[in-house]
Every structure is written in C-alpha cells, then in structure tokens.
Structure 1
Amino acid sequence: MTTTTTTPRPADPTANPPHRVVVVGGGIGGLALAAGLRRNGFDVAVHDRDTDPAATGGYHITLDTAAQRALRGLLDPALFARLLASASAVRRRPPDVWFDWRGRPLGEIQVKGLDPDSVDVDRITLRLLLAEAAGDSLVLGSTCTGVERDPGPGGQARATFADGGTDHGDLLVGADGPHSLVVRHLVGSPTSRPAGLVGISGRTPAAALDPAEAARLGPRSSLTVGPRGTALYSGYLDPDGYAVLDAAHARAAVTTGPTYIWGAMFPEATAPDGLRGQRGGPLAATTVAALRAAGWAEGPLQVLTRTDPATVASYRFHVGPRHARDTAPWPAGSITALGDAVHATPPTAGKGAGTAIVDAHALVTELLSARSGGQTLHTAVSAFETGMRHRGTAVVALSMTTVDRILAGSTPAGSALTRLSLPLLAWSTALRGRAGGHRGR
C-alpha cells in the first residue's frame, strides 16, 4: 500500500502542543492512542505493517480497572459499551487454579494485581474495535524503515516507509513493540531482551474436549506446571455465558462460545529444535511431543491435541528494564514511545496490553493539558514519560515473578524438586478436599 507523503509544516515543537501526531505501530497501544487523539480533535496518523487488523494472535487480554478507565476516556461511549458487551467478567467465573503435569489440582491461584472488576476480551476483538475507533487515521500495509527529526528549531519528526513515502508530525510516537525501530533511534540499542521463555499459543473450543477433561478445566483459567521448566496456561473465555453486559445486540466478539486460549511455555535453553520456525499443525505436534517427553499425561495435553491448527503460533517472551531509571532513557522531545516498545512485558501477568492502553490515555491527557494550558510539547512529553517509567517497571516486575519461577524449575535441581514436591502438594490438596467433604456432610 502506498504511503502518502506529507509536506512538513513550519513549527517549533518546543513551544507548542502538537497539531499533528504520527504513530508508528498499530497494535493495541498504538490504536488506543490514535483513537483517543482522533476523538479529541488531533490530526493523527497511525501506520502499521499489517494489512488486516485481525491478523493478530496471542492470549486473550485481561483489562483491569485502570485499563478500563483509560479506554472509557479514549473511546466513544457507544464503542466502549460494545467492548464490554464482547468481554467476559472475571468475577462471574470460578477462581483460577493450578495443576501439576498429570492434571492433579494444586489449589487456587492468587493473581496479584487482578482486581475483581477485571474483564477478559479476545485480543482480535479488542484490536478490531480499536481499529474502528481509529477510523481513517489507520494506514495499513505501511512498514516504517526510519525515523528522524528534521534539522532546525522548527524541525518536525519524520517517519519514512518501505514504499518511499514519508509522514511528518509535531510529535512521533513509537508503539511498535519490543523490537521498536523508534526506540532504537532514541537510544541506539534495544531496551528489551529475551526473557528466557518461548511461548506457543492456540485456541481450542471447550466443546472439542472430552466431557471429563472439560469438567476438570472448568469455566476458569488455569496454569499447569511440569518438569524441565514446562508450563501451560489455559485462559477461559466466554463472552456469551459470562458477559459483562447483557447486550447481545452490541456484541462484537470474535470468540462466540466457551473457548480455551492456551499458551505453552518452554525455557529457551531446552526448547525443541525448530520450534520458532514452525506454525500450525506441525508446531502443535512438536509442542505436544516435547511435553510428552517431559512426562506430561495425556489429559492436560488434550487442549493442545484438539486445538484449531490454524490458530497455533510461536513467539518469544521479551522483557524491558526492571528499574525506572533505565526506562525511556532519553531526553524528552518530539519523539517518544509507549507500551512494549519501552517496557516489554511477558504475558505471564496479563498486564502488557492494559498497561499500553493506560500509557496511551496518559499521553492523550498530557497533550490535552498542554493544548488547554499553554504548556510546551516537551513539558507534556516529559510528564508522560515520568509516569510511564514507574508504571512500566511495576508491571515488568510483576510479570517476571512467574517467568523466574518457571525458569527456576528448568534446572536439574529445580526439575527434580518439581517431580518430588508437586505430587505431594496434589495429595495434600486432595486430602483437604475429602476432609472438607466429610465436614460438609
């Protein structure tokens, strides 16, 4: 798709709030930012290399109260209502649980940072709704190849694209993920690193499982842990049965029935050969074979063996800085970034997309304040980046808690401890359950 070349407008970005904003990256954070800017009368363009907003995978997304509040400020009320009508209410389903690799229950999971009013939504659904809100500001098939600031005191930020086009703005925002080209321009190097885990995700309708396995997993999310640092997250999503809003006419959910959106995890050091180069059915088969080799029982593997092969894909976990002083380590100016481009977050806390949305809302708020209060662009960007540093490192630390535990179980000693301790914990859990049943009678 040809990118329109824009003519730079003389401006002094150090003295004025932005008239035009260019966003590089049309993921959740970039689209949320474009939607909020567009709603508030800013001239904005968001460029994304994808040609279809539905071309996205990954887990379902958990939106806590902060993320929902941010979306309420970014979206038109009718569109926000459609989002809630397409989401599952966490409080309406049973608590999350964890199992051992043979499918034995180990107890409930206490999820830090998950407030009772959190909702789950399919990533594809959320991206499509945000793309609708971004409207004609979204430019698809537009691959950014470079960013820079035009010389001189009135120089604008400029993005160049693979088709030779350019786009200028008073402010340029990188929302282009862990491998951010924009952040590389600002810092000279990546600000994220591999977290040490490889993930494989897919989608399996609950109806595809045997009745016994469907009953074991239940209408809840779960984490199953096994030897050699292996793990399997099964996220339960049902926007029909556990709807946030009783408004079927407004429902836009891609997921239309009880579905497990699962993610298997392996330490990179011991992941199966060729895992990153496969997709679909071959990738699912490789994943199942690797878990069997680690000793997993067939029951917990059923959510993988009954999956839709077309939905299976692999990805690498990346993590950003854990300390605020190392986040956004550049002087505030007419080029900034947000979300995973700055504070890459593994999916193990369910907070990455929600934090990017909060970032987007914070930046819109600061730009509106600059526009109404006569502040400079740099002042607004500086205030935004200060808040982002602390917000981003908090969620990175939370997400790495689970990653660190999984990696600790991948060592020979950790794997041996897993094989010894989890069956004992399962036995203890079953004993407590039987004792509770007798007391109930």
Structure 2
Amino acid sequence: MRRAGFDVVVHDRDADPAATGGYHITLDRAAQDALRDLLGPELHTRLLASASAVRRRPPDVWFDWRGRLLGDLDVAGLDPDSVDVDRITLRLVLAEAAGDSLVLASTCTAVERDPGPDGEVRARFADGSVARADLLVGADGPQSLVVAHLAGRPTSRPAGVVGVSGRTRADDLDPGRAAVLGPRSSLAVGPGGTALYCGYLDPAGFAVLDAAHLRASVTTGPTYVWGAMFPTATAPRDLRGRDGDRLRATTLDALRAAGWAEGPLQVIARTDPATVASYPFTVGPERARDTAPWPAGRVTALGDAVHCTPPTAGKGAGTAVVDAHALVRELVAVRAGTQTLHTAVSVFERDMRHRGSAVVELSMRTVRRVLATATPAGSALTRASLPLLARSTALRGARGRRSRT
C-alpha cells in the first residue's frame, strides 16, 4: 500500500520483528508472485537470495516411530516451485518494506466504528492512543480482536493437536542419523496420535538465487526444523507451561512413553533448547460460507485472523501474503476511481472466503490422519500395519539394489 501511494500505519504488538520463533515459512509460486509486486525488485531479490528451493532437495519421505522407512511421502497441495525461508528473515524484509509506517510494541485493545457506510473507524491501543482511518485491516492472527469485533465472536477453534517445535543443525546429529534423515523433509508417525515432522532447510546449499552477498537468512547451514505433534486430550498437561530444556525433556518423555525409539528422537535431543516452543493448533472455518461471516465495510481482516491454518500444509503464511496482495489490488482500483471502497472490500472478502477455506481444508487432512491414530483402534492398527509397510519397503529396496548390480 505504501508503494501504491496510500497513507498507511502498521501497528504491531511485537517490540522487535526478529523476536519470534526461528522456524521456516513455505512460500508457493502464488505467494512469491505476490511478494514480487508487494516488495519491489530489490527486497524481493534479497528474499530469494535467502531462501531454499524445495525442488532442489530429494522427495519427502515418511518413517514409523521406530525409524523404519515407509516410502516417499505424497504431500497434498505441495507446489514444486515453493521456497522455504526463515520466519525471522521474512519478517525483517517485510518490516523494511513498511519503513517508518511501522509502529512497534503497539497492542490494539478495541475497534470502533461510527454508524453509516462512511463512518469513521478507530483503533484504540494499550498506551491510550487512538488511530483514525478510512479502512482498518486486522492481520492479528488466531483469536483476532478485529475478527471478534466483526463477527461478534471468535471464528477459529482448537484443532485438537498441540505442537512442539525446534531447530537442530545437521552437524549436531550422529553421522548415521543425519544420513537416515538426509537432505530432505520427512514425517514420522507413531501410535497414540503422535507424529514428528522434520523439515530440511539449507538456504546456502539449496539456494534459490546464487547471490551469497545478498543472503540474510538466519539459517547458515543445513538445519532440521522439527515439529512434534500430540493430541490435545492426551498431551502432557504442563506442555504449554514449559520452555527450553524442560520443554524438550517433557516432549522426549511423552514420545518415549508412546513407544518411540531413540533414533528418531535424536533430532529433538540434540536441538538448541533456546529454539524450543510449544503451541496449540488452531483452525478456522472449513466452509467458504462460514469464512468472514460479516457484511463488507470499512473494517476487514486477512490471513490467520480469518482462516487460521494449522502448519500441516505449509500454506498459512503464503495464503496471508496472497490475501494482502489481493486487497492492495482492489484498493488501487478505488484510488483510480473505478470502484468504491465498499465494492473493493466486498470483492476481496468474497475471493478470500474461497481461498482461505480451501487451504484450511487441506491443512486439516494431515491433522485428521494424526488424530485417527489416537483412538484405541487407530493406535492398534498403526502398531500392526506400519511395521509391515516398512518391511515391504525394505524388500523393494533390496530387490532394486540386486537388479542394479
């Protein structure tokens, strides 16, 4: 909006754009194209120079809880042109693009609208200040204050899974364990609704753009960004109240109690405790008609505030970027005099409903599969079937090696 000539102020409750979990964000082709327009060529080039290309790494695989290979993992909705970038890197680039329009450590406490289609919009903040505007956009994530104002209630709900994430350098693993994981991402599945995702991130070795002088990524070498998943109903009660070493130990104890072998758990045991954090999975509406259930007006919202997406599809941040691009496109038409503000917001919200609900539904497929193994029947089936699948995969691999020799 700044680049399009609008007078914009961005209020962010964080005091520092770099003060966030050091995990990675996946951006599909649509998100990359949107960022090219939103950021301009210089910042977009710097972002690509700091990103890792998904197509350059081997296909994803999946394991069982004992570390046995089950085969290639078909990731629904994965765009082969996707790139991975550190969350901190992306936030710093966005903050630079916002420039002096960005106000940090500014927490919104209330939204107010005067009656009528042209009524003034106001946002009140914790420090007592008030911002007045023609349009207010809530990008305030799960349990959004702005969405609660618009809908009269929260529109997202718990997804039934709690996650714990961290970062582990590949060099900190035993050579044998690093060779098993390889330069690829993987998902390990266990009984009782437990799972462990290991994303592989290497902005230098798998660089999207070979321009080391522009690279600004937090990740400087091959790194596994892992995420353990537990059903909320059976997860350790104090999982959310711990951090660092205590949270890492609680996570390991819970997976061991579910029967996990030490091999798959090494990526957690060798992680940097400062990077470990827990969070509940939250999900927005899965039907378009339930997404953004309010009439168009001078207050709107986008991203996880509207269609909160669990991380299981790698689509949440990218979809928020596409939302932002779509909104700017409609507002530029208002500035050009080809449509009214009300029409612009209405068109934006109509398209966002369908885009957001589709991504939410995609992300919930993996969540449902994980939760299916949490039932007594699902847990028993997991314990019985996955070893057989691992044996079949091993036999196929042995036959392939013999045929090559």
Q: Structures share a fold, TM > 0.5?
A: yes
Equivalents in 2 of 1:340, 1:115: separation in Å? 20
Alignment partner for residue 80 of structure 1, among 44, 56, 63? 44
User: In the alignment, which residue of structure 1 is the partner of 2:362?
Assistant: 398
Q: Does 1:287 align with 2:247?
A: no
- After TM superposition, give the deviation of residue 150 of structure 1 in Å: 2.8
Counterpart residue type for residue 345 of structure 1: T
Within 5 Å, which residues of 2 pair with 1:69-148? 69-148=33-112
Equivalents in 2 of 1:309, 1:150: separation in Å? 49
Within 5 Å, which residues of 2 pair with 1:113-262? 113-151=77-115, 154-262=118-226
User: In the alignment, which residue of structure 2 is the partner of 1:363?
Assistant: 327
Q: Tell me, what secondary structure is at the counterpart of 2:44? A: helix
Q: Tell me, what secondary structure is at the counterpart of 1:236? A: strand
Q: Tell me, what secondary structure is at the counterpart of 1:43? A: coil
Equivalents in 2 of 1:153, 1:319: separation in Å? 31
Q: Does 1:309 align with 2:273?
A: yes
Q: Does 1:408 align with 2:382?
A: no
Q: Tell me, what secondary structure is at the counterpart of 1:99? A: strand
- 1:128-151: CA deviation from partner (whole Å, max 9, x where unpaired): 111111111111100100001134
Counterpart residue type for residue 371 of structure 1: R
- 1:72-116: CA deviation from partner (whole Å, max 9, x where unpaired): 110110100000000001111101111001111111111122122
Q: Say if 1:366 and 1:381, in contact at 8 Å, map to a contact too.
A: yes
Equivalents in 2 of 1:59, 1:152: separation in Å? 43
Equivalents in 2 of 1:59, 1:199: separation in Å? 13
Equivalents in 2 of 1:81, 1:230: separation in Å? 39
Equivalents in 1 of 2:227, 2:17: separation in Å? 22
Q: Say if 1:59 and 1:235, in contact at 8 Å, map to a contact too.
A: no
Counterpart residue type for residue 8 of structure 2: V
- After TM superposition, give the deviation of residue 440 of structure 1 in Å: 1.1
Q: Say if 1:46 and 1:137, in contact at 8 Å, map to a contact too.
A: yes
- After TM superposition, give the deviation of residue 312 of structure 1 in Å: 0.5
Per mean C-alpha deviation after superposition, the further-off stretch among 132-141 and 369-378 is 369-378
Equivalents in 2 of 1:384, 1:151: separation in Å? 22
Q: Tell me, what secondary structure is at the counterpart of 2:230? A: strand
- TM-score, normalised to structure 1's length? 0.91
Q: Tell me, what secondary structure is at the counterpart of 1:185? A: helix
Counterpart residue type for residue 393 of structure 1: S
Counterpart residue type for residue 171 of structure 2: A
Identity %: 77
- 1:378-415: CA deviation from partner (whole Å, max 9, x where unpaired): 10000000000000000001000000000000011111
Alignment partner for residue 384 of structure 1, among 348, 367, 376? 348
Per mean C-alpha deviation after superposition, the further-off stretch among 181-190 and 110-119 is 110-119
- 1:187-229: CA deviation from partner (whole Å, max 9, x where unpaired): 1111100000000011111110000000000001110101100
Q: Tell me, what secondary structure is at the counterpart of 1:264? A: strand
Equivalents in 2 of 1:45, 1:406: separation in Å? 41
User: In the alignment, which residue of structure 2 is the partner of 1:31?
Assistant: none
Q: Say if 1:195 and 1:319, in contact at 8 Å, map to a contact too.
A: yes
Q: Tell me, what secondary structure is at the counterpart of 2:391? A: helix
- TM-score, normalised to structure 2's length? 0.99
- Greater than 6 Å deviation, 4+ residue runs: none
Q: Say if 2:166 and 2:272, in contact at 8 Å, map to a contact too.
A: yes
Equivalents in 2 of 1:131, 1:280: separation in Å? 28
Q: Tell me, what secondary structure is at the counterpart of 1:38? A: coil
Equivalents in 2 of 1:161, 1:395: separation in Å? 32
User: In the alignment, which residue of structure 2 is the partner of 1:433?
Assistant: 397
Within 5 Å, which residues of 2 pair with 1:307-386? 307-386=271-350
Counterpart residue type for residue 284 of structure 1: R
For structure 1, the residue ranges without an aligned partner over 5 or more in a row are: 1-36
Equivalents in 2 of 1:91, 1:130: separation in Å? 25
Q: Say if 1:59 and 1:263, in contact at 8 Å, map to a contact too.
A: no
Q: Does 1:278 align with 2:242?
A: yes
Counterpart residue type for residue 141 of structure 1: A
Equivalents in 2 of 1:334, 1:104: separation in Å? 54
Within 5 Å, which residues of 2 pair with 1:9-24? none
Equivalents in 1 of 2:24, 2:392: separation in Å? 32
Aligned length: 405
Counterpart residue type for residue 78 of structure 2: L
Equivalents in 2 of 1:192, 1:416: separation in Å? 32
For structure 2, the residue ranges without an aligned partner over 5 or more in a row are: none
